[in-house]
Amino acid sequence: MRIYTAHLADRRPPVLVREGFSVWALIFGPLWLLARGAWIAGALSLCLSVVLALLAPLALAALAWLHGLFGNDILRLTLALHGYREEHVLAGRDEDAAFGRLLAARPDLLPDRLA
């Protein structure tokens, strides 16, 4: 089972963020942040990656490790800055199963045409 946090905001669809280490954030770092909508954190991380690549390649590996460890937490912070509230902690074998549990617990989140 994987653990997800559900983030809700008025008139916007819920967003699920997985708990734990992110291999994709480790591999792609700033690009992963940018792709997930964390623009400020992604841009700062990209600038830092370029500087570290030029000055200290070993520090770049440490930054990649930090992306893996804290990437999902950075996404949670970005969602909070955009008005989302962390309201639920869900478990599921994948994101779809966790989203199904969210909708079972909160049927008010279903669009009117599906309810």
pLDDT digits (tens, 9 = 90+) for 45-89: 999 999 999 999 999 999 999 999 999 999 999 999 999 999 999
pLDDT for 110: 84
Q: Where are the domains of the chain?
A: 2-109
C-beta separation of 33 from 41 below 8 A: yes
What is the average pLDDT score of the chain? 94
Q: What is the pTM of this model?
A: 0.89
The predicted model gives 14-40 an average pLDDT of: 97
Collect all residues with Cβ–Cβ distance below 8 Å to 43 and sequence separation of at least 6.
30, 34
In the predicted structure, residue 97 carries a pLDDT above the cut 70:
yes
pLDDT for 113: 56
Q: Rounded to whole angstroms, how far apart are CA atoms 9 and 51?
A: 36
> Environment class of residue 104 by beta-carbon count within 10 Å: exposed (0-12), middle (13-18) or buried (19+)?
exposed
pLDDT for 114: 55
Distance of CA 14 to the CA centre of its chain: 12
